[in-house]
Amino acid sequence: MQKIVLTPIGYAHNANRPDTPSPELQASTSQIIVDERYEDGLMGIGQNEFLTIVFYFHLVDRYELRIHPRGDTSRPITGVFNTRSQFRPNPIGVTVVRLKSIEGNKLVVEGLDAVDGTPILDIKPHVLTFDEGVKADGAGKDRA
């Protein structure tokens, strides 16, 4: 397979550590510090209440194709692609955050389930007309 190279557009800054429980991560406030060379790309982002953040699990050094969700052995084993686990062949995370404020190249967000120093790969507006899911027949919504 062809190798893909991605460059972070910024980094997460928060008090979250690798052993922080997931519910605490989701309730925390973080800064996303965007590299100044990409700051112009933030133009207009303040009109969004929610953002979709794509990030790289930089501390993960392995993957597992079958896991207990959240490492909870009381839950049945399932395929990694049926979970939001970080232990994936391509350790990429995606989460929706609430945008609290913008300070130049810094976005203050709530709900970023990533640890301090996590590389941010992309930021997208979370638009309900695009991101509300699939139709009952399984077909995706039309996307512009």
Average pLDDT score over residue span 4-25:
85
- Evaluate if pTM is beyond 0.75: yes
pLDDT tens, residue by residue, 62-105: 878 898 887 888 999 998 888 887 888 889 999 999 999 999 99
Length of the chain: 144
Q: Tokens 């052995």 identify what position?
A: 73
pLDDT of residue 140: 47
Backbone angles phi, psi at 62, to 5 degrees: -155, 170
Domains of the chain: 10-128 (2.40.30.70)
- Residues 33, 97: Cα–Cα separation, whole Å: 15
Residue 144, pLDDT above cutoff 70: no
Taking residue 123's Cβ as centre, other Cβ atoms within 10 Å add up to: 23
Q: Return the amino acid letter for 85.
A: S
